[in-house]
Structure 1
């Protein structure tokens, strides 16, 4: 992990096409602005983790349904 110190108004470049702007700092809160191509999805980590968990549940549920369908076919 790279740790950087930035002040409001300063930026961080990621590759050639992603820019992180430090918009504001108030106490323990930091506001960031992110410029990236529209094809790149940007999520807060807690939201991303929730999406991953829901996808895992959907896949597990899908597998259960397929297995149940196979059982019913064989009867």
Structure 2
């Protein structure tokens, strides 16, 4: 694991198309902004297990064709950078 120290406004580039920017540091709380392609899944660590369990349940309940559960077909998400940072 690589550990880096950054100040507000500084960025970290991951590969060619992912950028992490430190927006604000206040006490023990850090606000970050993530820039990534739409096909890159971004998930808070504390939600990883729940998301994995949900995906397993969905796979059992709804057979997947072409990678999309039928009830989610056609559903798109439009998040701006400011919405991802909240």
* TM-score normalised per structure 2: 0.63
Deviation at residue 49 of structure 1 after TM alignment: 1.6
- Which SS does the other structure have where 1:23 is aligned? strand
* Structure (1 or 2) with the larger CA radius of gyration: 1
| Count of equivalent residues | 62
- What are the ranges of 5 or more consecutive residues in structure 2 without an aligned counterpart? 62-86
Which residue does the alignment assign to 2:24? 24
2:55 corresponds to 1:55: yes
Distance 1:23 1:44 in 2: 17
Q: Which has the higher contact order (CA 8 A, sep 6+)?
A: 2
* TM-score normalised per structure 1: 0.71
- What are the ranges of 5 or more consecutive residues in structure 1 without an aligned counterpart? 62-75
Kindly indicate which of the two structures has a greater share of residues assigned to helix: 1
Runs of 4+ in 1 over 2 A off after TM superposition: 53-61
